[in-house]
Amino acid sequence: MGGKKFGFESATATGDLLTLINSTSWAIFVVMAKPYMEKYQTVTVMKWIFLFGLFLVLPFGWNDLRATDFGAFTTEAWAGLAFVVVATTFLAYLLNTYALKELSPATVSAYIYVQPFLATIFALLFGKDSLTLYKIIAGGLIIIGVYLAGRKQKT
């Protein structure tokens, strides 16, 4: 499949490790947030999550934030920043935490795997990617996995 090989010695090892950490963090978040979602409103939970997240992330990004020349941002750059902050961050977390009110953490977590599938579809639609057999197989496996995770178990 394109001559690519899998290995932890590859150039993507750091990204692979960060992806693993992200997935683990997401799983912990979803399991820990479920009881709060049953007790409080979605927006209330999100407000506190983002506030605590700000204080946890700020030390790592403070120097870059201070060095950013916001005056040099174009209208397109501001629109892109707003889209990332509002649509792909706030709304995504809002919808995921809202889903926790109705669904199990396992089901909500399964839907995170739809993200790369949707990203590929959008990239193809905008002409920024090409379709390969590898991507078709990966997309199929994602859809099957989400289906299996979301179906009701017979007891």
CA gap 19, 25 in Å, rounded: 10
Q: Give the confidence band of 3 by pLDDT, cuts at 50, 70, 90.
A: low
Please tell me whether residues 27 and 62 are part of one structural domain.
yes
75 and 24, same domain (yes or no)? yes
Q: What is the CA radius of gyration of the chain?
A: 19
pLDDT reading at 17 higher than 50: yes
pLDDT tens-digit series, residues 52-88: 989 999 999 999 999 999 999 999 999 999 999 888 8
In a domain, 52, yes or no: yes
Q: Does residue 43 sit in the same domain as residue 94? A: yes
41 is a domain residue: yes
Lowest mean pLDDT: which of 10-14, 65-69, 96-100, 124-128?
10-14
Task: Say whether both 84 and 146 belong to one domain.
Answer: no
The DSSP symbol for 85 reads I
> How many domains, the chain?
2
Alpha helices in the chain (DSSP H): 13-39, 42-67, 75-82, 92-102, 105-110, 114-125, 133-150
Measured CA angle at 113 (ends 111, 114), to 5 deg: 70
Domain enclosing residue 132, as ranges: 105-155
Q: Are residues 71 and 135 in the same domain?
A: no
- Taking all residues of the chain, what is their mean pLDDT, rounded to a whole number? 83
The predicted pLDDT at position 129 comes to: 86
Displacement of CA 93 from its chain's centroid (Å): 9
